[in-house]
Amino acid sequence: MNYETSILAVSIFAAFVLGVLGLSVWLGSRPQSAGGYFVAHGQVGWFVNGVAFAGDYLSAASFLGICGMIAFFGYDGFLYSIGYLAGWIVALFVIAEPVKRLGKYTLADALNSKFNSRGLKLVAAISTLVISLFYLVPQMVGAGALVKPLLGLPHWAGVVMVGGAVTGIVATAGMVSTTWVQFIKGTMLVVFCALLMFLILERGFSLPNTPIGQDEVQSYRKDASGVIVNGSPLSAENQLDTKLRAAHGVGFGSIAQLPDGVRATGPLGPIAFIETFSKSTVTTWKKGTDAAGATTFTPVERKGADLLLPGSSPTFKGVRDDRIASKLDFLSLMLALFLGTASLPHILIRYYTVKDAAAARKSTVVGIGVIGVFYIITLYLGLGAMTSGALDPTDSNMSAPLLARTFGNTLFAVISAVAFTTVLGTVSGLIMAGAGAVAHDLLCDVFKMELSDREQVRAGKLVAVALGLIAIVFGVLFEKMNVTFLVGWAFNVAASANLPALVMLLFWKRTTKQGIIAAMSIGLVGSLAWILVSADTLEKIYGFSAADAASRALVPFSQPAIVTVPLGFLTLIVVSIFTSTGITKPQTSPGIA
């Protein structure tokens, strides 16, 4: 794909990003106590906190990943939107107010509020760190994907830029600054995506200049002499979509046939847009490999109505399969999305940045409103990208920015800058959660180090730098993964490790500290182990072929939540029963005696 840089685009991008950074650092530049550094003194207003919730939550997975998945596979990306939003219902009705009442700085504070156990703090801190790292990886991958087309820089450069900027934010100003980054980013994301949706509806759908033939396979391969695209060396004049554009006036992703035989629809309303798409035929591109080992992209015409059904992507293909293991994989991911949101450490700590339970509740409602609007918009962005003629078939994460480029370089730069600040906002929140877990939970409470307020803040900043470096390394290693797919794993681990402990602590009086420690340990280790030996990991991380991965996998499906969440609840109940004081008095119970 042709990723030429434009001085205008780079200037707008730089102004946007530096403006957001400068504003947030200025707003958060007051001297910091530990309470100020980790939870912004608990004095953030509920509305600002609600929008910051959206800024924290709407990560690279939501913007780049979901748009990319819808652009490549249709409805399957929207399933993530539905699941991510539904998770906020658990947060609002089950978790928000009690967690606010129980905690101070971190998830471990809430879980340990009744027990004062070092063991529990240790497990909760480890859980926070692992989940935060899992969630950090896709954000960094998203950052790398962004700078490639905009600045002409390699993937690793984007990862380093985000890592450096975020570490700077967190290490200088803490949660106050992070809150403002997230507030500004949340607002900009929704406003500019709404603008993009408006432009998509105004443009409507149109056909390519000439129909794309089923035999027009595009290919590329890398050899010792460099990258060969469609039989000739890669150059500015010979990109993967060059032949297509010359022949048909569009690149990858276009409408093949519109209803009623028209060539262009003109402007459409939101309902008419979906209806027209549903009745159209779309040219999608199937990835494969030819006899010479080149990667090929073959045009496949698909009915719009079929693309608005689940099961087109590798992640959700089990829906169309009659095997029970495939169904369970789908159910498990949808369960993880539903239960994972309320278990994410960087979301939970935002309940401590407001002053009371009522503010926690109100800010969650604001968050649901902003996030809901955004997820409805993502459907239009994804379908707009799918038919924009501007997709990069090698990188689904670039679909939304490339869609923006079809409306001009200025919008491309603005959307890319918004996406970049999206990554900044989420990564800031994740690093804050990790810094709090290490500095507050591990150093002070587990290792009993006597740290003054100032020393806690300093320790938090050092941890932030370390986490930033680790995230940079992972972001480079996982370059080719779809960011939404990676985030799905983080949700599985979060739901398995944290949710049983949180729910039972709040609603079952016989819960013991041993029960919580056991449930969190089993949930964390169990879900991680399941993921590491699953077919998806064998294929996408270890590089096995799909058939080899399926035969070597040690678990019947790849998403663990449907097994590991109930396992966490069961572990907590059994261990709590055996360790609660009411039961450990066998002498008084004739049945046990």
Which residues bind to another protein, rule: CB under 8 A? 75, 78-79, 81-82, 85-86, 88-90, 92-94, 271-272, 274-275, 278-279, 305-306, 308-311, 319-322, 327, 330-331, 334, 338, 355-356, 358-359, 361-362, 364-365, 368-369, 372, 375-376, 379
If you ran DSSP here, which 8-state letter would residue 264 be given?
Answer: B
Which residues, in sequence order, are bridge partners of residue 63? Answer: none
SS3 category, 303: strand
Tell me the closest approach of the beta carbon of residue 318 to another protein, in angstroms.
8
Q: Based on CB atoms, which residue is closest to another protein, 256 or 334?
A: 334
Tell me the closest approach of the beta carbon of residue 265 to another protein, in angstroms.
13
- Rounded Cα gap, residues 564 and 561, in angstroms: 5
Q: Based on CB atoms, which residue is closest to another protein, 358 or 592?
A: 358
Radius of gyration of the chain (CA): 25
End-to-end, the C-alpha distance of the chain in Å comes to 75
Tell me the closest approach of the beta carbon of residue 97 to another protein, in angstroms.
8
Q: Based on CB atoms, which residue is closest to another protein, 221 or 327?
A: 327
In sequence order, what DSSP letters do the residues of 10-79 get, joined into one string? HHHHHHHHHHHHHHHHHHT-S---HHHHHHGGG---HHHHHHHHHHHHS-HIIIIIHHHHHHHHTHHHHH
Q: Based on CB atoms, which residue is closest to another protein, 275 or 548?
A: 275
Tell me the closest approach of the beta carbon of residue 93 to another protein, in angstroms.
4
Using the CB atoms, write b or e for 196-216: b if 16+ within 10 Å.
bbebbbebbbbbbeeebeeee
Q: Based on CB atoms, which residue is closest to another protein, 133 or 308?
A: 308
Tell me the closest approach of the beta carbon of residue 372 to another protein, in angstroms.
5
Tell me the closest approach of the beta carbon of residue 213 to another protein, in angstroms.
27
Query: Beta-carbon neighbour count of residue 303 at 10 Å?
Result: 15
Q: Based on CB atoms, which residue is closest to another protein, 358 or 570?
A: 358
Burial class (CB in 10 A: 0-12, 13-18, 19+), 542: exposed
Q: Based on CB atoms, which residue is closest to another protein, 119 or 369?
A: 369
Q: Based on CB atoms, which residue is closest to another protein, 216 or 275?
A: 275
Tell me the closest approach of the beta carbon of residue 546 to another protein, in angstroms.
17
**Spatial contact of 93 and 395, defined as CB atoms under 8 Å apart:** no
- Rounded Cα gap, residues 570 and 578, in angstroms: 12
Cα torsion 581, 584, 589, 591: sign: positive
Q: Based on CB atoms, which residue is closest to another protein, 154 or 369?
A: 369
- Rounded Cα gap, residues 401 and 403, in angstroms: 5
Tell me the closest approach of the beta carbon of residue 268 to another protein, in angstroms.
12
Tell me the closest approach of the beta carbon of residue 363 to another protein, in angstroms.
10
**Spatial contact of 34 and 42, defined as CB atoms under 8 Å apart:** no
In sequence order, what DSSP letters do the residues of 73-98 get, joined into one string? HTHHHHHHHHHHHHHHHHIIIIIHHH
Q: Based on CB atoms, which residue is closest to another protein, 89 or 194?
A: 89
Q: Based on CB atoms, which residue is closest to another protein, 75 or 485?
A: 75
Tell me the closest approach of the beta carbon of residue 317 to another protein, in angstroms.
9
- Rounded Cα gap, residues 504 and 164, in angstroms: 39
- Rounded Cα gap, residues 510 and 150, in angstroms: 56
Tell me the closest approach of the beta carbon of residue 276 to another protein, in angstroms.
8
The two structure tokens encoding residue 545: 């072929």
Tell me the closest approach of the beta carbon of residue 333 to another protein, in angstroms.
10
Residues 6 or more apart whose CB falls under 8 angstroms from that of 393 comprise: 218, 240, 252, 285, 287, 297
- Rounded Cα gap, residues 10 and 414, in angstroms: 10
Tell me the closest approach of the beta carbon of residue 88 to another protein, in angstroms.
6
Tell me the closest approach of the beta carbon of residue 327 to another protein, in angstroms.
5
Residues 6 or more apart whose CB falls under 8 angstroms from that of 405 comprise: 149, 390, 411, 412
Alpha-helix runs per DSSP H in 215-260: 242-248
Q: Based on CB atoms, which residue is closest to another protein, 222 or 320?
A: 320
Phi/psi at 214 (5° precision): -65, -15
Q: Based on CB atoms, which residue is closest to another protein, 148 or 362?
A: 362
Q: Choose among 420, 399, 494: nearest CA to 65.
A: 399
Residues 6 or more apart whose CB falls under 8 angstroms from that of 136 comprise: 427, 430, 431, 467, 470, 471, 474, 475
Q: Based on CB atoms, which residue is closest to another protein, 327 or 510?
A: 327
